[in-house]
Amino acid sequence: MMKMPWRRKSRSFHLQLQGAIGTIQSPFLFLFTNYCHSSTSTLEDARFLTNNFKSASFTHLDDAIASFNHVIHKHPLPSRVPFNRFLSALVKMKQYHTVLSMSKTIELLGISHDVYSLSILINCFCHLHLVDFGFSVFGKMLKLGLEPNIVTFTTLINGLCIESKIDKAVEFFDDMVARGYQPDVRTFNVIVNGMCKFGKTNVAIGLLKGMADRGCEPDVVTYGAIIDALRKDELVGEALELFSQMRNKGISPDVITYTGLIHGVCKLGQKNQALALMNEMVEQNILPDVYTFNVLIDALCKDGMVAEAQNTFNVMIQRGVEPDVVTYNSLIDGLCISDQFKEALALLKEMVGRNISPSVFTFNILIDTLCKKGLVSNAQKIIKIMIQRGVEPDVVTYNSLMDGYCLYREIDKARKVFDLMVTNEIANIFSYSILINGYCKCKMIDDAKELFDEMSLKGLVPNVVTYSTLIEGMFRAGRPQNAKELFKDMCSHGQQPDIVTFSIMIDCLCRQGNLDEALTLLKAMEKCQLKPNVVIYSSLINGMCKVGKINDAKELFSSLFEIGLQPDVYVYNAIMKGLCQQGLMDEAYKVFKDMEKVGCLPDNCCYNIIIQGFLKHEDLPKASELINEMVDKGFSADDATTELVVHLSQNNNLILRLLKVRNEGSAN
């Protein structure tokens, strides 16, 4: 058991308190001694200040200081009780420094402390992250022969939790119980909340179950803390179960509990469940607040359900709940993602009309959307408006601008933005990654490598995105050895390759005919507990076909269904191309026909691959049939198909005439 503070002999409390106040001295203390007493010379003012002090009904700090200064000059002085009430009101205003200063003044006036006044001091120190001073006050309380109450203990436990000393909080709680103090529901709530915040949810659940045995029934706050912790751990099923238990015990959920659950089910993509919870809380006369609506609107927008989000927004307005900047940001983001930029701008205008100031995040959404559309000049106009409204562009703003230039190969302009960011010391890892990607796309691989090397000199550690970008750039530039060395460097520097990195490596190795190396990486990937996706399997099938291992490709293709992966159109194209190259036209045609059966519709590339296969093997009737089908579906022959048709038509021009007629018909 922890050796508790009240067992030790401590320094003089006066010296410790003086030291604490000395470091957090309130600027108002000097006002107490220099206040112009003439300002309260009239009887009316004096009564007002006295009443203000007694009722503790002030709302402004200046009024509180004036009242305090007035009463400390009165004779006789008020007793400790009204001073406690007065200081408690200031604590509610979070004026902790001022309370400490005033408390010292009261003590110097000779007014003795009681358990309540010292508990107020403990509370202030705890909120100022000075729990050790709180324990010093606790020691003073014991030295004066004052009996601490449960509020005192709860305050100290809360102070330990605030400073992330959860283990000490638990020990102090246990020691308190061992000494015969009975915790109340607030004490349990503080310790439960602390446990939940520091990942001890199971311990908190155990404490919840044992509360009744200790003669204390949990309330909505107790359940709410654990439900929220389970929700954050994505254990939404367990959270909903605990929610049901709470209701079965007759404890009514509050808006915080419902909002947390709505947030949890939204993260799991269960929008219908979220809407059901929203309807349920309304039926229980628990009104959703702005945060509840924000959670639901944001989830709907992220899921592409912008119309539903707008309907929810309209309901919010109808219910008299005022939207805030977060509400508008979610809607604007959703509209931008769904390519409704004009509507997003209209919403921005509405937002300003409601006197809700757009944040840097609001502007960044719009700027990023414009840059991705290649409308960088329009994005620059938004930046000007942003600055005019007093919103300072941040690193995200400039990264978006730079990305816009890179996407459209305006690398010199991107470099100017980057250099400006470096000069202003705001360039981050993403800034470097964006420009490296830009250089790679412009085939300026040496510039990309130079920038990559510069990162370490700036104290920046390349992340998996930076490495993956440059690795792909090296392969594309015909430097496979450099790419492989970079991959090894990445692993040796503790950067775990992700699915994208492995996908790039495997695809590029397969394109070069290095199938064995690609398969070795596949095994390494599986050792890292990374599950290959259809993109990687598509690359491997292509690689196998490229080196003539068609049986391995067929086997790998068949295994996809066995492991529960649905091949996409690229996988089908890869296996069909390989089969056609090997002259296995019956098998290729079967794969082609099976596509639609599993819900994967052939695209233009599929038709051209299978048609070219039949043309190369001079099965003109089948090729003609498929050309008809292809054109009927709105697709057209590519250059390779057309070239084959022209070549074959030297001996038989029927197919060429057919293709020409069909293409002309589709054009009309």
Please write down the HEC assignment for all residues of 85-102.
HHHHHHHHCCCHHHHHHH
pLDDT at 32: 42
| Dist. CA 68–CA 48, nearest whole Å | 12
For residue 303, give both structure tokens.
């899921």
Q: State mean pLDDT over 448-473.
A: 92
Q: Indicate the SS3 state at residue 549.
A: coil
**CB-neighbour burial class of residue 340 (10 A; exposed 0-12, middle 13-18, buried 19+):** middle
CA angle 217, 221, 222 (to 5 degrees): 50
In CATH, what class is 1-148? mainly alpha
| Residues 336-352, mean pLDDT to the nearest whole number | 92
14 pLDDT exceeds 60? no
Query: CA 457, 460, 461: angle at the middle one, nearest 5?
Result: 115
Report which residue type is found at 422.
V
pLDDT tens string 284-295: 888 899 999 999
Q: Give the per-residue pLDDT at 139.
A: 92
Provide mean pLDDT across the span 375-380: 91
**514 φ/ψ angles, rounded to the nearest 5 degrees:** -90, 65
Do residues 96 and 128 lie in contact, with contact meaning Cβ atoms separated by under 8 Å?
Answer: yes
Give the mean pLDDT of the chain. 85
Has residue 118 got a pLDDT over 80?
yes
pLDDT at 656: 54
Angle made by CA atoms 323, 328, 329, in degrees to the nearest 5: 135
- CA atoms of 321 and 344, how far apart (whole Å): 21
Q: What's the rounded mean pLDDT across residues 143-168?
A: 92
pLDDT band at residue 654 using 50, 70 and 90 as cut-offs: low
Task: Please tell me the predicted confidence (pLDDT) of residue 143.
Answer: 92
Say how far apart CA 222 and CA 187 lie, in whole Å.
10
| pLDDT attached to residue 15 | 37
Residue 241 has pLDDT above 90, yes or no: yes
**Which secondary structure element, helix H or strand E, spans residue 204, and what is its range?**
helix 201-211
pLDDT of residue 369: 93
pLDDT of residue 247 exceeding 50, the answer is yes
Q: Do domains 1-148 and 497-585 have the same CATH topology?
A: yes
Inform me whether the pLDDT recorded for 665 exceeds 60: no
What radius of gyration, in Å, describes the C-alpha atoms of the chain?
A: 36
DSSP 8-state class, residue 24:
S
Q: Which residue has the tokens 């005919």?
A: 513
Q: Is the pLDDT of residue 12 over 60?
A: no
Provide the 10 A C-beta neighbour count for residue 390: 7
Q: 404 — alpha (psi -120 to 50), left (phi > 0) or beta?
A: alpha
Q: How far is 116 from 151, CA to CA, in rounded Å? A: 9
**What are the φ and ψ backbone dihedral angles of 653, each rounded to 5 degrees?**
-90, 5
Confidence band for 582, pLDDT divided at 50, 70 and 90: very high
Task: Please tell me the distance from the alpha carbon of residue 650 to that of residue 620, in angstroms, as a whole number.
Answer: 13
User: What dihedral angle (degrees, nearest 10) is formed by the CA atoms of 124, 126, 129, 131?
Assistant: 130
Q: What is the pLDDT of residue 66?
A: 82
For residue 2, how many other CB atoms are within 10 A of its CB?
12
Ranges of each domain in the chain: 1-148, 497-585, 603-668
How high is the pLDDT of residue 653? 56
- The whole-angstrom separation of Cα 504 and Cα 201 is 40
When pLDDT is cut at 50, 70 and 90, the band that residue 74 belongs to is: confident
Mean pLDDT score, 130-159? 92
Q: Range with the lowest mean pLDDT among 36-45, 170-179, 260-269, 639-648? A: 36-45
Burial of residue 99 (CB within 10 Å: 0-12, 13-18, 19+) is buried
The whole-angstrom separation of Cα 475 and Cα 604 is 28
Average pLDDT for residues 407-428, to the nearest whole number? 92
76 cis-preceded (ω within 30 degrees of 0): yes
pLDDT bin (cut points 50, 70, 90) of residue 636 is confident
pLDDT higher than threshold 90 for residue 642:
no
Average pLDDT over residues 441-468: 92
What pLDDT was estimated at residue 3? 40
Cβ neighbours of residue 350 closer than 8 Å, sequence gap 6 or more:
328
Q: What is the mean pLDDT of residues 271-275?
A: 86
- Res 43 pLDDT > 70: no
Dihedral sign for Cα atoms in the order 230, 231, 234, 237: positive
- The CA angle 262-265-498, to the nearest 5 degrees, is 130
C-alpha distances out from residue 565 to 53, 529, 534, Å: 73, 17, 7
Q: Which two tokens stand for residue 395?
A: 């690193």
Residue 336: per-residue pLDDT = 93
For residue range 356-366, what is the model confidence (pLDDT) as tens digits?
Answer: 999 999 999 99
CB burial of 179-212 (b: ≥16 within 10 Å; e: otherwise) equals eebebeebbbbbbbbbbbbbebbebbbebbeebe
CATH superfamily, region 497-585: Tetratricopeptide repeat domain (1.25.40.10)
Which residue has tokens 């949890």?
A: 264
Q: Span 431-454, mean pLDDT?
A: 94
| Amino acid symbol at 297 | I
Inter-residue contact 70 to 49 (CB < 8 Å): yes
What pLDDT score does 67 carry?
Answer: 79
pLDDT attached to residue 69: 79
The DSSP string of 360-426 is HHHHHHHHHHHHHTT-HHHHHHHHHHHHHTTPPP-HHHHHHHHHHHHHTT-HHHHHHHHHHHHHTT-
Return all residues near 299 (Cβ < 8 A) that are at least 6 apart. 266, 267, 271, 274
512-554 pLDDT, tens digit each: 889 999 999 999 988 888 889 999 999 999 999 989 899 999 9
Percent of the chain with pLDDT over 70: 88
pLDDT at 649: 60
Predicted local confidence at residue 650, as pLDDT: 57
Quick check: 587 pLDDT over 90?
yes
What is the DSSP code (8-state) at residue 73?
T
- Separation between Cα atoms, residue 577 and residue 582, nearest integer Å: 9
- d(CA 336, CA 623) in angstroms, rounded, equals 44
Interatomic CA distance for residues 584 and 613, integer angstroms = 9
Residue 658, pLDDT score: 53
pLDDT in tens, 482-515: 999 999 999 888 888 999 999 999 999 999 889 9
pLDDT at 651: 52
d(CA 86, CA 295): 39
- The Cβ-side half-sphere exposure at 418, using a 13 Å CA radius, reads 24
